[in-house]
Amino acid sequence: ALTAGIVGLPNVGKSTLFNAITQAGAESANYPFCTIDPNVGIVEVPDHRLTKLTELVQPKKTVPTAFEFTDIAGIVKGASKGEGLGNKFLSHIRQVDAICQVVRCFADDNITHVAGKVDPISDIEVINLELILADLESVEKRIGRVEKLAKQKDKEASIEFPILARLRDAFEAEQPARAVEFTDEEMKIVKQLHLLTIKPMLYVANVGEEDVADPSGNEYVQKVREFAQKDNAEVIVISAKIEEEIAELEGEEKQMFLEELGIEESGLDQLIRAAYSLLGLATYFTAGVQEVRAWTFRHGMKAPQCAGVIHSDFERGFIRAETVHYDDLLAAGSMAAAKEAGKVRLEGKEYEVKDGDIIHFRFNV
């Protein structure tokens, strides 16, 4: 499964956020295929469409789709030189698909800051620099091999070499690979390098309770936003402490607490959805009287592969996908009406599933 790693300097609120994640935790009985690992938190992906579908279909059970966060502890200055738990830290980052970097944007004199004062940009730079240096090392190693071949007019090396040189220039200017622009063709080569700084990055600005409803007055947040724009990254504002409290609540209680705080959606829910889309993930649904359920797939996946998300037998024996889009079903008001209006299609194995499709798979066993 795809996972987003949570990183950050000590004392920025990582554990608090990770606690909120495991508190809010998905009911694991529904997700037997998920990892059981104390460093992995499984959360349900909030989706208002699932609520509507449940109202429409009245199933016995409704199951949201899930998403994994991995807690990656142990960043220190000098990680790229193998200091402290440095190498371990970097190898953990190599295994995640996106990075959520928690940044301290709350002032609290009782809580020590590792660098002595709250300064989100310099915090970000400490972590990013370690990742950039690790990438610089990989690219320089590769250049050592490829440059010679390029001089000998090796075709592939001649294409790769200038790409590596551009990456090296970016790293030397302390820029991450994700801030460099590549064509789709070039990107295929870049991907093979398994760089750390090419992974999508999301900054999680951790603010105090007083700033949750309106973070515009928090100058740290503004700085993080400016930085993220140059860095080709996204920003989510949360208060980890409040999220811990919200995570203990459910249903109406949760709704009331959010209203008191003056926010529509919990920061954690925003974070989950942001990480989900950052990873290029989308949702399709199955809807029967027994169960209405959301499933995760990657943009661009075809119908049989999507069937395989449910069970490998579904993929192997795939015949057709009876498909109606959520918007069409909702407009029609019922499955029968959608059928009558010609909105239910029979799709074959070349069909690219869309976010919001409701599918009934037909398959041979």
Contacting positions for ligand GDP (CB under 6 A): 8, 10-16, 106, 108, 111, 206, 208, 239-241
Residue 37 CB, nearest distance to ligand GDP (Å)? Answer: 18
Phi, psi angles (nearest 5°) of residue 30 = -80, -15
Q: Which is nearer to ligand GDP, 121 or 187 (CB)?
A: 121
Residue 284 CB, nearest distance to ligand GDP (Å)? Answer: 35
Q: Which is nearer to ligand GDP, 27 or 108 (CB)?
A: 108
CB contact at 8 A, 275 and 41: no
Beta bridge partners of 285: 294, 358
Does 283 show up as a binding residue in the annotation? no
Q: Which is nearer to ligand GDP, 211 or 315 (CB)?
A: 211
Distance (Å, rounded) from C-alpha 30 to C-alpha 10? 34
The CA–CA distances, whole Å, from 254 to 63, 197, 248 equal 19, 37, 8
Q: Which is nearer to ligand GDP, 175 or 206 (CB)?
A: 206
3-state DSSP assignment of residue 174: coil
Residue 240 CB, nearest distance to ligand GDP (Å)? Answer: 4
Residue 14 CB, nearest distance to ligand GDP (Å)? Answer: 3
3-state DSSP assignment of residue 5: strand
Residue 215 CB, nearest distance to ligand GDP (Å)? Answer: 12
Which tokens in the block code for residue 53? 């579908």
> What is the bridge-based pairing of β-strands 3-7 and 318-325?
unpaired
> What is the bridge-based pairing of β-strands 98-104 and 3-7?
parallel
CB contact at 8 A, 340 and 324: no
Q: Which is nearer to ligand GDP, 7 or 167 (CB)?
A: 7
Residue 25 CB, nearest distance to ligand GDP (Å)? Answer: 17
Does 80 show up as a binding residue in the annotation? no
Q: Which is nearer to ligand GDP, 149 or 261 (CB)?
A: 261
CA angle 233, 239, 242 (to 5 degrees): 150
CB contact at 8 A, 128 and 176: yes
Ordered DSSP codes for 258-308: HHHHT-SS-HHHHHHHHHHHHTTEEEEEEE-SSEEEEEEEETT-BHHHHHH
Q: Which is nearer to ligand GDP, 20 or 309 (CB)?
A: 20
3-state DSSP assignment of residue 45: coil
Does 12 show up as a binding residue in the annotation? yes
Does 70 show up as a binding residue in the annotation? no
Distance (Å, rounded) from C-alpha 292 to C-alpha 280? 23
Does 91 show up as a binding residue in the annotation? no
Residue 113 CB, nearest distance to ligand GDP (Å)? Answer: 10
- Residues in binding site for ATP: 11-16
Query: Residues annotated as binding site?
Result: 11-16
